[in-house]
Structure 1
Amino acid sequence: MGTYLNVDTSSFESLRNTEYIDKSMLISYFNSCLDTTNRLLCVSRPRRFGKTSSIKMLAAYYNRDIDSHALFNDLLIAKDKSYEMYINKYNTIFID
């Protein structure tokens, strides 16, 4: 529907303010694939299964323009060893 460059965290913030189910350990898997030969990932799930909300979460985590610690400190990913290593480290491109 649109192209977004350097997405802000507002779309993920609005998801967090609703009935959000913590799927942040997906970030841990993505972090484990970074800097390896498996770094190109495709997020595919059945229809109406949360692809867009997962991508918004990933964009908010990796986006380096905004400090996202407040959004993720109380989620499961904050306990992962790779949390601080990759949060807000990259420019993000979200194409929907």
Structure 2
Amino acid sequence: MSTFDEKRTTNNQERVLRLSGLEPLVITPESNFINVGERTNVAGSKRFLRLIKEEKFDEALGIARDQVEGGAQIIDVNMDDGLIDGKEAMVRFLNLIVSE
């Protein structure tokens, strides 16, 4: 049982941004520019929103593929729109991405 007199130990890991996906990405102050693909965002791309609304996920996947082929190291995927089931769309789209 702990007491108030005991000191809390902390993890001494370096404080950096750690992202996970198919491959881990660690961004440090020494990292150069990180290219983020932002076209897989229903709030920022009318084309992507239309494809998701029409459930054309394979065509929407092409947008993500183009982003990666264009040099994106990170893909910003956003399905937050009142006219779609964001949770279902996100799961379906991410499952397509990881199967590529």
TM-score band by shorter chain is 0.3 to 0.5
TM-score of the superposed pair, with normalisation by structure 2: 0.34
- Larger relative CO (CA 8 A, sep 6+): 1 or 2? 1
| Largest Rg, 1 or 2 | 2
